[in-house]
């Protein structure tokens, strides 16, 4: 041992030191945090054949979506926990100031009762839909092969909980203004049985049962989320503005700020994935497989959405434009 | 009121169960991931989390907490607390960060499993916040020690430890992987949040925070107290799940998970926290002994938590109560003697004054552990350093992955608890470790302990040098005596006085 060189302190973690540049706070606290990729036969320190080891070997490390180093992924906005809270506390202050202001102006009592019926059917059941994104993001996050990819999903999970919370809040308010529309009681029935929601429910139930990480990250983020962003946030927001519901329009705009952030890291992720030969065809194959289900969901939802002419076509085109913009 | 009260809409935000029809309930919630207790979704809808928080409240409160912890760090950055700290205290920080930081980050994935797979909607939302909490704890406990990497190579292990086969880290991973990384959602809530977090992290965090404040390390004290405020929220995720299980006739299964997790947590604490509190923390800064902390936080508080819940004390409680006065002394002696195999510098903690404190806190210490320390001390005082270092590895337990040990002296009681399973002979350090293994042998049977790997020729050359290389420990990282044996001077002086007289 005496002949061996004695290691000296480095300027940063040894795993980041080789690059000879100062790492950001984001890299110091976000990169290479998973430890389950060190022993290929046994991601976790237990019997190699126990079920969770098999689950990760198959679904995380065995996926067809390959890259030599997923740990090289970086969130373009370098969101860390503390900046996430600063950012979202600010956003929530804005949204709750809207709630406060519109409530003071008795916004809901000024709404057309027919529009209130539309909200009971097209808007308040969305808490179930947002919850499915929350769940799906939690899954993709926990099986992602790089902590930087995982973290984007955990923040996306939290953002979905945020959207769900807005819906729950508004559901209660609407139930106070309109006692006869089934607010705060019929949402589950709409979600489970109304034709408007069945496309999204089918899409999300099936998305939630994709266990392969590669397929799951693509289906959730490139298929399901864009469909929801375009139909249930953007088109519903338009419909709201056309029906005197300024509050809902502003609310969906605020939520679309989160969705735009999700798309920015996704664009970086797709660019990285396309570095590996074969991934383009693989991803295109998954898109071809899942796009019809998303289109069906958009059609079912937008067909009867009031005062948004050509809404389904525009929403579907927007999902395709987004995918095309990523080179897909 | 222009804005609704939280409880006006809270229940709606957790009314999110629906009946799937495009896939089956078992496909949506696979029993192995969700928790196969045979209970349908509606049984879980009775789950009621005692600590309620909404998304907007969460981001506001957490933003404020971060502002506090990070501003203390920034204010004290040039304070040279690290440089001037007692070497024993530096070792506390190194051991803590290495064993804990990335484990906390991994816990985010365990929380995410509860979020995705629990059939209880309230649990899913609370785990969403719990997951964020664990991202916080991982990130803070990497950011804070990073400040010190340029001063001390061992600080690199705050990050690196989890990537290595260092023996203590194999034990830490084996425990955390068992209770949180490889369990279904409901078992995670019982084993991680109820058993480990309610039972044990209070002690690691509040106990250490007290010692840190005493040692003048306000950054660290502030950091870990801030973390504990999150723990005390998300630790409550498991309680209501236990309630649902007990009401549905699943008490035995619930109890078994508590018993396994509590024992594993205890063993890990005996090697990590015990030596820190009773040996590394400078004598004048010790608030309570490890045993006193255990009695206050685990025995008194956790006993109450168990009985309030309608659970029994673990069947091995008598063994546990006896061991809290003994096991960690052996773990300390082992990690001190095998100090090249750890990434911090263990403080011996056996000056005459410290021994008097140990004897007071643990009557009989001098007649047991003290006898062995006398030999180590004599070798150090004589300059016989070859005898004060190890040559090979100690035998380790196939459950907790820690050395098999007993209490020395007249009542020397070391004992192997063997078990043959599927043609392989396993060795355990206690009846309880063997029992844990037997509850679900397939989880553990295919695992090789570091000694199994050594004997299988996976560690080459088969000597301490080969073992250190296998553990990713190089000179500059390997531990040695925290005070560079300065404490031996007292014994030299005592010896000289004795001779003169």
User: Which three-class secondary structure string do you get for B469-494?
Assistant: HHCCCCCCCCCCCCCCCCCHHHHHHH
> B49 Cβ partners below 8 Å, 6+ apart?
B122, B123, B126, B236, B237, B240
Write the pLDDT tens digit of every residue in A89-102: 999 999 999 999 99
In degrees, rounded to 5, the angle at the alpha carbon of residue B92 between the alpha carbons of residues B91 and B94 is 60
Q: Which one of B7, B9, B124, B161 makes the best mutation probe of the A interface by having the most chain A beta carbons within 10 Å?
A: B9
> Do the beta carbons of residue A196 and residue A176 sit within 8 Å?
no
A104 neighbourhood in chain B, CB within 8 Å: 2
Q: A177 touching B, CB under 8 A?
A: no
Which residue from A14, A101, A131 is facing B160, i.e. has the nearest CB? A14
Distance from C-alpha of B141 to C-alpha of A69, rounded to nearest angstrom: 25
Q: Give the mutation candidate from A23, A30, A31, A45 for the B interface (greatest B CB count, under 10 A).
A: A45
Q: How far apart are CA A91 and CA A86, in angstroms?
A: 9
Angle ∠(B366,B412,B368) on CA atoms, nearest 5: 5
Q: Using CA atoms, how far apart are residues B476 and B473, in angstroms rounded to an integer?
A: 8
* Coil, helix or strand at residue A32: coil
**B112 contacts on A by Cβ (under 8 Å):** 138-139, 141-142, 154, 157
Query: Nearest Cβ partner of B159 from A15, A34, A151?
Result: A15
pLDDT in the model for residue A1:
44
What letter does residue B396 receive in the DSSP assignment?
A: B
| Angle of helix B121-146 versus helix B55-76 axis, rounded to 10 | 10
Inter-chain contact B156–A10, Cβ cutoff 8 Å?
Answer: yes
Distance separating alpha carbons of residues A287 and A264, to the nearest angstrom: 19
Query: Burial level of A274, CB count in 10 A (0-12/13-18/19+)?
Result: middle
* A205/B135 touch (CB, cutoff 8 Å), yes or no: no
In angstroms, rounded to a whole number, what is the distance separating the alpha carbons of residues A272 and B35? 36
Which residues of chain A neighbour B52 with C-beta distances below 8 Å?
none
Is there a contact between A135 and B115 if contact means CB atoms under 8 Å apart? yes
pLDDT category of residue A113 using cuts at 50, 70 and 90: very high
Strand-pair partners of B396: B403
What distance in Å separates residue A170's CA from the closest CA in chain B?
8
Q: How confident is the model at residue A122 (pLDDT cuts 50, 70, 90)?
A: very high
Task: Scan for tokens 């704890």, then name that residue.
Answer: B137
Residue A86: pLDDT over 80: yes
Chain segment B284-339, per-residue pLDDT in tens: 999 899 999 999 888 888 899 999 999 999 999 999 999 999 999 999 999 999 99
User: Please, which residues 281-320 of chain A have a Cβ atom closer than 8 Å to chain B?
Assistant: none
> Using alpha carbons only, what angle is made at residue B267 by residues B264 and B269, rounded to the nearest 5 degrees?
110
Distance from CA of B163 to the nearest CA of A (A): 6
Q: What percent of chain A has pLDDT over 70?
A: 99
CA distance B257 to chain A (A): 17
Residue of chain B with shortest Cα separation from A44 = B177
Quick one: DSSP state of residue A186?
A: S
Angstrom distance (rounded) from CA A284 to CA A310: 26
Q: What is the pLDDT of residues B25-41, one digit of tens each?
A: 999 999 999 997 989 89
Which chain A residues are within 8 Å of B402, Cβ to Cβ?
none
- C-alpha separations of B452 from A135, B424, B432 in Å: 40, 11, 21
Min distance A327 CA to chain B CA atoms (Å): 31
Interchain contact, A103 vs B3, CB within 8 Å: yes
CA–CA separation, B475 vs B155, rounded Å?
A: 14
The pLDDT score that the predictor gives to residue B214 is 85
Residues in chain A: 328
Instruction: Summarize pLDDT for A200-254 with one digit per residue, the tens.
Output: 999 999 999 999 999 999 999 999 999 999 999 999 999 999 999 999 999 999 9
A255 to chain B, minimum CA–CA distance in Å? Answer: 14
For residue B59, give every residue at least 6 positions away whose Cβ sits within 8 Å of its Cβ, in sequence order, or none: A84, A85, A88, A89, A92
Measured in angstroms, the CA of A322 and the nearest CA of chain B are apart by 27
**B480-496 per-position pLDDT tens digit:** 999 999 999 999 999 99
Which residues from chain B sit within 8 angstroms of residue A53, using beta carbons?
Answer: 182
Nearest-Cα distance to chain A for B493, in Å, is 31
CA distance B349 to B280: 6
Residue A4: per-residue pLDDT: 65
Q: Could you tell me the sign of the dihedral formed by the alpha carbons of B205, B210, B215, B220, in that order?
A: positive
- Site from B19, B139, B471, B477 to mutate, A interface, most A CB atoms within 10 angstroms: B139
Phi, psi values for residue A241, rounded to 5°: -60, -35
Q: Give, in order, the Cα–Cα distances in Å from B378 to each of B279, B303, B333, B497.
A: 19, 43, 15, 16
Within 8 A by CB and 6+ apart from B7, the residues are B52
A19/chain B closest Cα distance in angstroms: 16
Complex prediction ipTM: 0.97
* A105 vs B: CB within 8 A: no
- Judged by CB atoms closer than 8 Å, whether chains meet at B153 and A9 is answered as yes
Average pLDDT over residues A283-298: 98
Contact A28 B146 (CB under 8 A): yes
**Cα-Cα-Cα-Cα dihedral sign, residues A90, A95, A98, A99:** negative
Contact by Cβ (8 Å): B268, B274: no
Does residue B3 come out as left (phi exceeding 0), alpha (psi in the -120 to 50 range) or beta? beta
Interface contacts A/B by beta carbons within 8 Å: 243
Among the partner-chain residues B9, B22, B474, the one whose CB lies closest to the CB of A4 is: B474
pLDDT recorded at residue A3? 55
């Amino acid at each position: 041992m005496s002949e061996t060189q004695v290691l000296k302190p480095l300027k940063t973690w040894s795993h980041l030191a080789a690059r000879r540049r100062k790492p950001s706070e984001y890299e110091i606290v976000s990169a290479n945090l998973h430890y389950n990729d060190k022993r290929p036969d046994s991601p976790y320190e237990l019997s190699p054949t126990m079920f969770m080891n098999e689950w990760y070997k198959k679904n995380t490390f065995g996926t067809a979506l390959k890259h030599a180093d997923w740990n090289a992924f970086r969130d373009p906005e370098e969101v860390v926990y503390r900046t996430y809270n600063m950012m979202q506390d600010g956003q929530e202050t804005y949204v709750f100031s809207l709630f406060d202001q519109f409530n003071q102006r008795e916004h809901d009592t000024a709404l057309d009762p027919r529009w209130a019926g539309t909200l009971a059917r097209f808007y308040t059941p969305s808490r179930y839909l947002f919850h499915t994104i929350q769940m799906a993001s939690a899954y993709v996050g926990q099986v992602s092969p790089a902590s930087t990819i995982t973290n984007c999903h955990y923040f996306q999970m939290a953002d979905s909980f945020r959207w769900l919370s807005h819906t729950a809040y508004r559901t209660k308010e609407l139930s106070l203004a309109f006692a006869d529309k089934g607010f705060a009681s019929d949402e589950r029935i709409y979600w489970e049985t109304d034709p408007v929601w069945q496309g999204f429910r089918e899409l999300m139930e099936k998305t939630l049962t994709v266990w392969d990480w590669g397929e799951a990250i693509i289906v959730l983020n490139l298929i399901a989320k864009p469909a929801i962003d375009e139909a249930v946030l953007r088109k519903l927001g338009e419909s709201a503005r056309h029906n005197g519901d300024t509050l809902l329009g502003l609310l969906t705009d605020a939520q679309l700020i989160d969705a735009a952030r999700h798309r920015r890291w996704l664009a970086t992720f797709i660019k990285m994935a396309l570095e590996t030969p074969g991934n383009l065809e693989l991803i295109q194959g998954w898109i071809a497989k899942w796009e019809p289900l998303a289109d069906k969901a958009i059609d079912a939802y937008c067909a009867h959405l009031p005062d948004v002419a050509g809404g389904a076509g525009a929403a579907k085109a927007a999902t395709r434009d987004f995918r095309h913009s990523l080179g897909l | 009121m222009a804005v609704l009260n939280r409880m006006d809409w809270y229940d709606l935000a957790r009314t999110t169960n629906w009946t799937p029809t495009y896939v089956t309930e078992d496909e949506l919630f696979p029993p192995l991931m969700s928790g196969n207790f045979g209970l349908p979704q509606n049984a879980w809808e009775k789950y009621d989390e005692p600590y309620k928080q909404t998304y907007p409240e969460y981001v506001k409160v957490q933003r404020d907490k971060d502002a506090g912890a990070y501003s203390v760090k920034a204010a004290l950055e040039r304070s040279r607390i690290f440089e001037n700290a007692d070497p024993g205290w530096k070792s506390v920080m190194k051991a803590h960060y290495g064993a804990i930081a990335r484990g906390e980050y991994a816990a985010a994935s365990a929380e995410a499993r509860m979020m995705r797979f629990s059939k209880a909607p309230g649990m899913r939302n609370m785990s969403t916040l719990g997951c964020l909490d664990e991202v916080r704890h991982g990130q803070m406990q990497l950011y804070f020690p990073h400040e010190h990497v340029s001063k001390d190579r061992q600080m690199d292990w705050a990050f690196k430890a989890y990537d290595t086969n260092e023996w203590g880290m194999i034990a830490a991973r084996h425990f955390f992987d068992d209770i949180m990384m490889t369990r279904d959602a409901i078992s995670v809530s019982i084993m991680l949040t109820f058993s480990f977090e309610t039972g044990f992290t209070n002690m690691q965090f509040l106990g250490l925070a007290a010692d840190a404040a005493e040692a003048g390390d306000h950054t660290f004290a502030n950091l870990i107290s801030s973390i504990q405020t999150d723990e005390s929220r998300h630790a409550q995720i498991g309680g209501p799940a236990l309630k649902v299980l007990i009401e549905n006739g699943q008490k035995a299964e619930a109890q078994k998970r508590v018993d396994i997790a509590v024992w594993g947590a205890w063993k890990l604490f005996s090697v990590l926290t015990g030596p820190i509190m009773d040996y590394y923390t400078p004598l004048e800064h010790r608030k309570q002994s490890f045993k006193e902390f255990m009695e206050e936080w685990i025995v008194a508080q956790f006993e109450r938590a168990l009985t309030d819940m309608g659970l029994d004390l673990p069947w091995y409680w008598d063994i546990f109560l006896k061991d809290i006065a003994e096991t960690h002394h052996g773990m300390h002696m082992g990690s001190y003697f095998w100090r090249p195999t750890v990434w911090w510098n263990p403080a011996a903690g056996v000056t005459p004054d410290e021994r008097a404190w140990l004897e007071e806190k643990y009557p009989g210490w001098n007649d047991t552990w003290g006898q062995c320390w006398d030999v180590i001390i004599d070798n150090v005082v004589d300059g016989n350093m070859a005898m004060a270092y190890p040559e090979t590895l100690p035998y380790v337990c196939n459950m907790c992955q820690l050395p098999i040990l007993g209490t020395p002296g007249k009542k020397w009681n070391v004992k192997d608890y063997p078990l043959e399973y599927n043609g392989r002979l396993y060795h355990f350090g206690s009846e309880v470790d063997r029992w844990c293994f037997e509850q679900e042998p397939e989880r553990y049977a295919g695992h090789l302990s570091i000694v199994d790997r050594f004997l299988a020729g996976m560690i080459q050359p088969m000597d301490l040098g080969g073992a250190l290389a296998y553990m990713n420990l190089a000179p500059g990282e390997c531990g040695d005596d925290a005070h560079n044996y300065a404490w031996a001077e007292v014994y030299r002086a005592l010896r000289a006085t004795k001779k003169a007289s």
